[in-house]
Structure formats: structure tokens, C-alpha cells
């Protein structure tokens, strides 16, 4: 057993699927997104965008509107700075191209059907299938939309261009809420998939 | 003499360590404990238990003050908030305060005097007719509430910078503070006080400012959230000592810019 263990360690460097910066960034992002969602729900409840639809306060963070705003505008720094670090590293190491491309709609559809039939292999965790590529790129884009629409709401006078881009102050709230709903949908699918393929969780914790 | 202690079973430490190691080496075991940890972490975050923690509160307040500085830096003194047409005015314009509409203060305009104090040259009190004689300005702008809703209204009065000029305010001071007839109090940064769209208003939609909207006067700033716009103003002072505000002292962000 001891020999096996040390052998695994020796190979560890070569077998690393997720480099350390990806892992750190992933978990910081997960924390930031969860804090943003839970506090955002409380802020939403103060004046619901959709009449009659509110989120039970026991699922929210902050205790009251003022507390939720404090959480939201503190966690935004973690989300923003960590997201910035993640994107810079992705481009600097060329990971964005090697991991997420090439990608075509037909490949996504094919892998999606294969996955639904249970035929998709996860033998090589170092390579994302087309559905994964699409899902992770979608999450990146959606978080970008969340940040930008959030800035449009937060500073609708100072960031006039962003405000107009999102169709004015009130519509920016609709965009912000919709993008939040989409990231929630992503999280649900993501967590279910991780439960089905637990090895992917290990690669995001110990790197291989 | 010695107390009788139950004899502990002889544990083979080495074999125990091996067992634990084996357990931990099984990915499914480790996965399970990790999941439990994650669930526990999530459960801790919901509700408000974490916000009640003093150190968390201190940290969040500190970040909020950092955000004040960031907003002060983002604030462009020449950038104007969008203006709207009369047809776009929200009717009826919502009443909003920390009390019901029937509890709005009743201020007698006939013997009203606006007090001015702090870092100003003239501490003379102002009557309403004197204020009405100042240069006039009007705006149709969007009022954005910290809760998220917004409404478009039409306010008329005098540019606040004109008023500050006339009282000889030290415009290098940090804050302008307000005390109100409804025990509300608020303070703003000097750059916003001097912004061209910051008006000391006496009318709403062409009529004398009604009691529910802040008679005898309201400071209207389309560059700030609703709670930063004090109504029923009785006292104005210029200071370098941070005066806080009614909601700000309870946790709302002080700068409150939009």
C-alpha cells in the first residue's frame, strides 16, 4: 500500500487535470456566487421585479435589506477580482483555447444525446466533452452578464452606456434576475453531474 | 489509595492508523465527508446567523466604507442623470418614508426659518419667500429607491450650489448635513452637493411641495438613491465631521450613489 501511494504521488505532477489556480479560483467563485445569490434574493424581496413572486426569507442572507446589501456589495469584490484573475490566467496559459475549443453546435447536440442515453464516457477527465465545454462557457458568459447588469443597476447614472445597453434601469433588473435564474439552473445541473461522476469533484479538489 | 480507573482496552495504534488511512484513501468515503462539509457550510450561510456575528458585521461595515470611497472616485461631477418628458412621470408618485403617510410632519410655513450652520460665512436663518426668490431650476428625473423600484417625478426649486454660494459655504469641506422635521437626518459629500442637478426643491409637479413629499423643502439628487434625499429640511450644516444618516447608521451604504 505504501508503495502504491508513493507511486501515485510520483505520477501526480503529470496527471494533474486541474491546475492549482483553477481549483482555487473555482472554489472562490463558488463561494462568491452563492453569497451573491443568497443576498440578492433578499434584495429582490424588498421590491419584487415580478409581482407576487418572492423568495422565502429563510433561504436568504443578510437578515434584512441593509444587511443583504452589505453582503452583496462585499461579495461582489470577491466575484469580480477572482473572475478577473480566472479570465487573465485562462488567456495567459491558453487554457481557454485548449480546454474549451473547438466547439460546434452539432458536437454539443451529439454529446448531449449520448449523455442522455448514458453512453458518454468520462474515462479521460482531462478532456471536456462538448456539453461540458458549452456549459462552462455559458457559466462564464452568464456571470459576465450578471456583473455588467449589476453595474448598470448599481450605477445607472455613472455607467450610462451600460444602463442603455441593458434597456434602462428597470429592464437591467429583469436582465439581472434572469441571468441569476440561469446561473441557478447551471448550478443544479452542475451539482447533479458531479454527483453522477464523483471523480470530477476529486479533480477539482486535489487536481487529479 | 489510587482511584480505580477502568482499564482501557489495549488499542493497537498502528493498526488503527492503517485503518483510518484506508478509509480516507477510499474516494467514496472522502467524497461523502466532503459533501457533508459542503452542506454544513451552506446551511450556515442561510438565515441571518452569520450576520449576527460581531466580527462579520464589523468587516461588512468596513467594506461598505471602502465602497463609499470607490463611489466617490466613480462619481463624475459633470455627468448628468437622464431626464424625462412630462408624459413619462409616474402617477401617482409613490409616498415613501419610515412612517405612514398620515404621520408625515405638518410644518407651518408662515413662521418657518431654515437654519444654516457649520462652515459657512452667513448663519442667518432663511424664510420661505427668501428661498423662493433664489434662481429657479426644474427637473424631471428618475427616483431610484434602495429597495429596487424606481419612479419618475418632477421637482422644482433652486440649484443647491447657488444656495451654498449665498451662505458662503466652505466648499472644500467634506460633508453637508441635514436635520428634518420628521427626525430624519442625512448627510452628503460636497461634490454631489455641488452637482448641477442637485436641487433644493420647493415644488412638485408645478405645485407647492405637498406635505407627503417633504414640505417645506426636499433636497433632490438624481445621482443618489432615494433615502439620501432628505425631506422636511429644517437645518443645513457644512462640516468635516462625518454626520451619518438615519438609515446609514443602521447599515445602508453612506454614499448611496447611482
Q: What is the pLDDT of residue A170?
A: 97
A140 plus A121 within the same structural domain: yes
Shared domain for A178 and A113, answered yes or no, is yes
Residue B41 and residue B150: Cα distance in Å, rounded? 36
For residue A32, the chain B residue with the least C-alpha distance is B45
Give me B200's grid cell.
433644493
Same domain, residue pair A7 and A39: no
Residue A79, in any domain of the structure: no
Does the structure show a pLDDT above 90 at A118?
no
Domain check: are A104 and A166 in the same one?
yes
Of A47, A61, A173, which has the smallest distance from its Cβ to B45's Cβ? A61
Whether residue A29 is found in the same domain as residue A13? no
Helix residue spans in chain B (DSSP H): 13-25, 27-45, 54-74, 128-132, 160-166, 190-193
Specify if A85 maps to a domain.
no
A101 and A61 share a domain? Answer: no
Query: What's the pLDDT band for A24 if we cut at 50, 70, 90?
Result: very high
From B248, which residue of chain A is nearest by alpha-carbon distance?
A66
- Please compute, for residue A172, the number of CA atoms within 13 A of its CA located in the half-sphere on the CB side: 26
pLDDT tens column, A136-164: 999 999 999 999 999 999 999 999 999 99
Q: Does residue A117 sit in the same domain as residue A136? A: yes
* pLDDT value of position B142: 98
Q: In this predicted model, which residue has the larger pLDDT, B4 or A182? A: A182
Average pLDDT in the A19-40 region?
A: 98
Q: Give me the mean pLDDT over the A86-104 stretch.
A: 96
Which residues form the domain of A30? 22-74
pLDDT confidence tier of residue A123, bands split at 50, 70 and 90: confident
Reduce the secondary structure of B163-196 to three states and give it as a string: HHHHCCECCCCCEEEEEECCCCEEEEEHHHHCCC
> Cβ B61–A70 below 8 Å, yes or no?
yes
Whether residue A106 lies inside any domain: the answer is: yes
Say how far apart CA B257 and CA B242 lie, in whole Å.
Answer: 17
Q: Are residues A164 and A109 in the same domain?
A: yes
With H, G, I as helix, E, B as strand and everything else as coil, classify residue A147. helix
One domain for residues A42 and A100? no
Q: Domains in chain B, ordered, with CATH?
A: 82-250 (3.90.420.10)
Domain-embedded: residue A80:
no
Number of domains in chain A: 2
Given a cut of 60, is residue A113 above it in pLDDT? yes
Assess whether A38 and A104 both reside in one domain: no
Does A102 map to a domain? yes
Q: Is this model's pTM higher than 0.90 or not?
A: no
Specify if A81 maps to a domain. no
Give B41 to chain A, closest Cα distance, Å.
Answer: 10
Instruction: Tell me if B251 and A70 make a contact (CB, 8 A cut-off).
Output: yes
The parts of chain B modelled with pLDDT lower than 50 are 1-9, 27, 29-40, 47-48
More confident residue, A39 or A115: A39
Query: Quick one: A169 and A105 in the same domain?
Result: yes
A105 plus A178 within the same structural domain: yes
Region of B58 please: left (phi>0), alpha (psi -120 to 50) or beta. alpha
CA angle A63, A65, A69 (to 5 degrees): 100
| Residue A86 covered by a domain | no
State the residue for C-alpha cell 442637485: B198
What's the grid cell of residue B25? 484513501
| Within-domain flag for A87 | no
Amino acid at each position: 500500500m505504501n508503495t502504491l501511494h508513493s507511486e501515485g504521488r510520483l505520477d501526480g505532477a503529470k496527471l494533474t487535470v486541474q491546475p492549482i489556480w483553477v481549483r482555487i479560483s473555482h472554489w472562490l467563485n463558488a463561494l462568491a456566487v452563492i453569497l451573491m445569490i443568497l443576498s440578492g434574493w433578499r434584495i429582490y424581496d424588498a421590491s419584487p421585479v415580478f409581482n407576487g413572486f418572492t423568495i422565502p426569507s429563510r433561504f436568504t442572507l443578510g437578515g434584512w435589506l441593509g444587511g443583504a446589501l452589505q453582503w452583496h456589495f462585499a461579495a461582489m469584490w470577491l466575484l469580480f477580482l477572482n473572475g478577473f484573475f480566472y479570465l487573465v490566467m485562462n488567456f495567459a496559459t491558453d487554457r481557454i483555447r485548449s480546454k474549451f475549443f473547438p466547439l460546434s453546435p452539432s458536437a454539443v447536440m451529439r454529446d448531449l444525446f449520448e449523455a442522455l442515453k448514458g453512453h458518454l464516457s468520462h474515462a479521460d477527465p482531462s478532456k471536456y466533452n462538448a456539453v461540458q465545454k458549452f456549459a462552462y462557457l455559458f457559466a462564464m458568459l452568464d456571470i459576465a452578464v450578471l456583473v455588467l447588469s449589476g453595474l448598470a443597476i448599481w450605477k445607472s447614472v455613472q455607467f450610462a452606456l451600460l444602463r442603455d445597453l441593458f434597456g434602462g434601469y428597470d429592464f437591467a433588473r429583469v436582465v439581472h434576475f434572469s441571468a441569476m435564474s440561469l446561473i441557478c439552473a447551471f448550478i443544479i445541473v452542475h451539482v447533479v453531474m458531479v454527483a453522477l461522476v464523483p471523480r470530477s469533484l476529486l479533480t477539482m479538489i486535489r487536481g487529479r | 489509595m489510587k482511584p480505580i480507573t477502568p482499564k482501557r482496552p489495549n488499542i493497537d495504534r498502528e493498526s488503527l492508523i492503517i485503518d483510518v488511512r484506508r478509509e480516507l484513501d477510499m474516494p467514496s468515503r472522502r467524497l461523502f465527508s466532503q459533501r457533508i462539509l459542503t452542506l454544513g457550510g451552506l446551511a450556515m450561510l442561510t438565515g441571518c446567523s452569520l450576520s449576527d456575528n460581531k466580527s462579520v458585521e464589523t468587516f461588512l461595515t468596513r467594506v461598505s466604507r471602502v465602497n463609499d470611497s470607490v463611489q466617490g472616485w466613480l462619481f463624475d461631477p459633470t455627468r448628468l442623470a437622464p431626464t424625462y418628458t412630462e408624459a413619462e412621470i409616474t402617477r401617482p408618485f409613490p409616498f415613501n418614508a419610515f412612517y405612514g403617510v398620515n404621520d408625515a410632519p405638518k410644518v407651518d410655513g408662515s413662521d418657518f426659518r431654515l437654519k444654516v450652520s457649520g462652515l459657512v460665512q452667513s448663519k442667518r436663518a432663511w424664510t420661505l419667500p427668501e428661498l423662493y426668490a433664489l434662481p429657479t431650476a426644474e427637473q424631471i428625473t428618475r427616483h431610484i429607491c434602495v429597495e429596487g423600484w424606481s419612479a419618475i417625478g418632477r421637482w422644482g426649486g433652486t440649484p443647491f450650489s447657488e444656495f451654498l454660494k449665498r451662505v458662503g459655504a466652505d466648499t472644500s469641506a467634506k460633508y453637508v448635513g441635514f436635520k428634518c422635521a420628521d427626525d430624519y437626518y442625512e448627510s452628503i459629500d460636497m461634490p454631489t452637493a455641488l452637482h448641477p442637478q442637485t436641487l433644493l426643491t420647493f415644488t412638485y409637479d408645478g405645485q407647492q411641495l405637498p406635505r407627503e413629499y417633504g414640505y417645506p423643502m426636499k433636497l433632490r439628487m438624481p445621482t443618489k438613491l432615494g433615502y439620501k434625499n432628505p425631506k422636511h429640511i429644517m437645518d443645513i450644516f457644512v462640516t468635516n465631521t462625518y454626520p451619518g444618516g438615519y438609515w446609514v447608521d443602521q447599515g445602508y451604504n453612506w454614499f448611496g450613489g447611482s
